[in-house]
Structure 1
């Protein structure tokens, strides 16, 4: 079985797209639509990679990122956002994100991105 990837994103279409695309590469993919659900998942089971949306209905992924990184320092976090104004990207990378992925993204690049953050 491949690596476990957790997606925390409130957009069902993005979650399904990522799940479908990543499953083709042999990854086991779980997703939740709220930050609270994602934090509970992380307490129960640590994924190998986390895709974290920056803007969630119940909180900010940017604010949660330092907490996640302090609790799970070896967990690669790929932040995703529809708001790519440069400032959010810099904040995410400064807070410990391994990569910032603007929406919409090219699913053909996902395998390379995962390889990059895992190495």
Structure 2
């Protein structure tokens, strides 16, 4: 990539709206802090139901979706979200970093998989990949 395409790509994503659906407040705050620093508008919720309402009303560009939530399976929700909002980039996050869940998430339409625990550096690298 050239410097010009890097700048255009960065400008395109700046101000993009990111929704995080995760039941762990610390994970939500870490992601929010990392993404805001990169120029994203970020909101988080802790349940699938609240996430679906937010997606319908605010239509985020990027969704960080935990696989295991108190009110349902993030894995099952991926295809629902992608069918209704095909342009939505879904990044699954999970403490269960086994190959099977990762493959299931990617097959269902997730664009990336982020394993917990993760660092700010992991998020930075992931978002560079998401933008390309």
| Aligned partner (choices 94, 100, 107) of residue 87 of structure 1 | 100
Q: Which runs of 4+ in 1 moved over 4 A?
A: none
Structure 1 Cα separation of the partners of residues 65 and 30 of structure 2: 15
Gaps of 5+ in 2: 1-13
* RMSD, aligned CA: 1.1
Q: Are 1:76 and 1:118, in contact at CA under 8 Å, matched by a contact in 2?
A: no
1:30-109 equivalences in 2 (<5 Å): 30-109=43-122
Q: Spell out, residue by residue over 1:2-61, the C-alpha distance to the aligned partner (whole angstroms, 9 max, x if none).
A: 111100000000000111111111111100000000000011011111000000000000
In the superposition, the TM-score normalised over structure 1's length comes to 0.95
Alpha-carbon separation, structure 1, partners of 2:28 and 2:62: 14
Which of the pair is proportionally richer in helix? Answer: 2
Paired residues in the alignment total 119
Provide structure 1 residue ranges, at least 5 long, that are not aligned to the other structure: none
